[in-house]
Chains A and B, each alone.
Chain A
Amino acid sequence: MAEEEDDPGFDEDLDDGGNGVDSGQGKRKRLFSKELRCMMYGFGDDQNPYTESVDILEDLVIEFITEMTHKAMSIGRQGRVQVEDIVFLIRKDPRKFARVKDLLTMNEELKKARKAFDEANYGS
């Protein structure tokens, strides 16, 4: 009954019961470990969250992004992911919708500000 997932000598991927979301998803390197730790602390967890919890959250986030991408590819222009498709998919969820609107608006404002700043520099 040994938990062999942590054994460094083992090369194969050991799935327990095939729960793709819960257990380690293959040998993919952890993409977001550092950022997710900071994020979990910011959202209310302990300053040092458990590694297993961070792993579970990373798998969930990657699955979420994958699902959204697949859905976005199937609507609007097929085979491509565009911002309008993402906004359409998220329209029912008020939090995410508001956040995307805010981010895109801020991005536009920043671009305008940078452009104005550059033009001012170029002129003087």
Chain B
Amino acid sequence: MADPARVKPVARVSEAPVPAERPKQGEGSGDAPGSSGKVSEPAAVQTTAKEQGKARSAEDAAAAAAAGDEEEGSSSLHPPPAKKLKVEHDKKKEKRQKVDEDEIQKMQVLVSSFSEEQLNRYEMYRRAAFPKAAIKRLIQSITGSSVSQNVVIAMSGIAKVFAGEIVEEALDVCEKWGDTPPLQPKHMREAVRRLKSREQIPNSKHKKILFH
């Protein structure tokens, strides 16, 4: 499951191997170790992950192109285009599986180094979920007809991500205002206001007037 790695971490162990793999992007990686405070470090780790993702996909494209070129130029009996595509697809699948395994391994290393409080929080993070029956009842009360199980699964999953986005934003607000958790309603409302301006909260009540 790749999801936890994408969520902004609460307390993140600095991943030592990652900066070494990162190709030189010229983004001031040199001065990062010395001056990185607590705020800049998660951002650096996030951009590292993003850049790694970009570099990996660039690598994939380059490898696929190289493989294609190699096969074409080697002999006159080059494989037909359909087989070439299949070979490229297999290579990409292998790479994706390898990437997944890497990520799983990194997660294992990370989780094994958690303190007890962090383990508790992580367990809650993974386990907490909306009850399927209540979600199903809610959706059916809106549509008036029955919905399939997959819809309930998808909707509860999305609702959990949504709740996570709000709590994360509210924690940002809380930290910015110099308060401490537990979150207060004012933090939640400010978080909602910010997310609305970024259009991450759907709102179909506002009537847009086209030519005002």
Tell me whether B171 is interfacial, beta carbon within 8 Å. Answer: yes
Scoring A residues 76 to 102 as 1 if CB is less than 8 Å from chain B, else 0, what string do you get? 000111110011001001011011101
Question: A118–B8 Cα gap in the complex (Å)?
Answer: 40
Minimum CB–CB distance from A94 to chain B (whole Å) comes to 9
The answer to whether A45 and B183 touch across the interface, beta carbons within 8 angstroms, is: yes
Which of B13-21, B88-96, B152-160 sits within the interface? B152-160
Question: A43–B171 Cα gap in the complex (Å)?
Answer: 9
Question: Given A69-B139, A81-B143, do A45 and B171 touch, yes or no (CB 8 Å)?
Answer: yes
CB-CB under 8 A from A13, the residues of chain B are: none
In terms of DSSP, what is the predominant structure of the interface of chain B?
helix
Question: A2–B205 Cα gap in the complex (Å)?
Answer: 32
The answer to whether A73 and B158 touch across the interface, beta carbons within 8 angstroms, is: no
The answer to whether B6 and A50 touch across the interface, beta carbons within 8 angstroms, is: no
CB-CB under 8 A from B6, the residues of chain A are: 95, 98
Question: Given A32-B134, A35-B128, A44-B10, do A61 and B182 touch, yes or no (CB 8 Å)?
Answer: no
CB-CB under 8 A from A52, the residues of chain B are: 184-185
Scoring A residues 101 to 124 as 1 if CB is less than 8 Å from chain B, else 0, what string do you get? 011101100000000000000000
Tell me whether B161 is interfacial, beta carbon within 8 Å. Answer: yes
Question: A61–B125 Cα gap in the complex (Å)?
Answer: 17
**In the complex, how many residues of chain A place their beta carbon closer than 8 angstroms to a beta carbon of chain B?**
53
Question: A1–B202 Cα gap in the complex (Å)?
Answer: 34
The answer to whether A53 and B203 touch across the interface, beta carbons within 8 angstroms, is: no
CB-CB under 8 A from A68, the residues of chain B are: 155, 158, 202
Minimum CB–CB distance from B174 to chain A (whole Å) comes to 9
Scoring B residues 167 to 187 as 1 if CB is less than 8 Å from chain A, else 0, what string do you get? 110110000000001111101
Q: Which of A1-50 contact B (CB under 8 A)?
A: 21-22, 31-32, 35-36, 38-46, 48-50
Minimum CB–CB distance from B102 to chain A (whole Å) comes to 17
Question: Given A39-B124, A50-B182, A104-B153, do A71 and B162 touch, yes or no (CB 8 Å)?
Answer: no
Q: Which single member of A21, A48, A53, A96 contacts B161 (CB below 8 Å)? A: A96
Residue of A nearest to B187 (CB): A53
Residue of A nearest to B182 (CB): A46
Question: Given A22-B185, A31-B138, A43-B167, do A86 and B158 touch, yes or no (CB 8 Å)?
Answer: yes
- Inter-chain pairs besides A32-B131, A98-B2, A102-B1, 20 sampled, C-beta below 8 Å: A22-B189, A39-B167, A41-B121, A42-B121, A42-B127, A43-B164, A45-B182, A50-B182, A53-B187, A60-B162, A60-B163, A62-B138, A64-B159, A64-B162, A65-B135, A65-B159, A95-B6, A96-B162, A99-B157, A100-B157
Q: List 11 A-B contacts (CB under 8 A).
A: A21-B192, A38-B128, A41-B124, A44-B121, A46-B182, A64-B159, A68-B155, A68-B158, A69-B143, A69-B155, A95-B165
B residues touching A (Cβ–Cβ < 8 Å)?
A: 1-3, 6, 10, 121-131, 134-135, 138-139, 142-145, 147-148, 150-151, 153-155, 157-168, 170-171, 181-185, 187-189, 192, 200-204
A residues touching B (Cβ–Cβ < 8 Å)?
A: 21-22, 31-32, 35-36, 38-46, 48-50, 52-53, 56-57, 60-62, 64-71, 73, 79-83, 86-87, 90, 93, 95-96, 98-100, 102-104, 106-107
